């Protein structure tokens, strides 16, 4: 199995490579940014899995993911990140990502996730998707009541006042 891991933090890259190689049976190629990763996909591919840091130089968020998915030589493409929301993970999967790997994952789970995704399966840690979303650190968000946050969440999801009222069991004028 051949895997490309791209991350702009050398310590993270070295640690990931050490964990993965210790498990055996996986050849690991690394890149420090998206442009280098794209060049390696073209020159050293095909890769069974390409694991891209969401916030590295050149990645441009989900646009980089879409570009990598479209490349010949990248059989499966997944995101690696230290800070992301469930909504972002869901968007990545909808775009065709093989998975979404938080940097908080244990070494054993990481190796299992890599093998799982390289076989063509989608990976998302259950704990990540079921954990309660952290409250915003923005000072204005902290002033909102729980109900106001629920209404705001409905608005950000593009729901009409009527839908939000129905979801929250409130009258429409209350919204």
Find tokens 């004028």 and name the residue: 173
Judge if pTM exceeds 0.75: no
CA dihedral 32, 33, 34, 35 (to 10 degrees): -90
Nearest to 128 by CA among 160, 93, 101: 101
Whole-number Å distance between alpha carbons of 22 and 47: 19
Tens of pLDDT along the chain (175 residues) come to: 999 999 999 999 999 999 999 999 999 999 999 999 999 999 998 999 999 999 999 998 899 999 999 998 889 999 998 877 778 888 899 999 999 998 888 888 999 999 999 999 999 887 766 655 555 556 676 788 888 888 888 888 788 899 899 989 889 888 8
CATH of domain 2-130: 3.40.50.2300
* Domain parsing of the chain, residue ranges: 2-130, 139-174
């Amino acid at each position: 199995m051949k895997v490309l891991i791209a991350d702009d933090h050398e310590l993270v890259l070295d640690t990931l490579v050490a964990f993965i190689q210790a498990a055996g049976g996986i050849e690991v190629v690394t890149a420090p940014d998206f442009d280098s990763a794209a060049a390696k996909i073209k020159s050293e591919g095909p890769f069974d899995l390409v694991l891209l840091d969401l916030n590295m130089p050149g990645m441009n968020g989900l646009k980089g993911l879409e570009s990598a998915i479209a490349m010949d030589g990248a059989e499966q493409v997944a995101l690696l990140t230290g800070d992301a929301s469930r909504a972002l993970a869901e968007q990545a999967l909808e775009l065709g990502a093989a998975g979404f790997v938080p940097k908080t994952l244990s070494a054993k789970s990481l190796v299992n996730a890599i093998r799982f995704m390289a076989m063509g399966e989608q990976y998302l840690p259950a704990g990540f998707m079921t954990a309660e979303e952290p409250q915003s650190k923005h000072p204005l968000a902290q002033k909102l009541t729980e109900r106001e946050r629920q209404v705001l969440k409905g608005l950000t999801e593009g729901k009409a006042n009527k839908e939000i009222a129905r979801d929250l069991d409130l009258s429409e004028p209350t919204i």
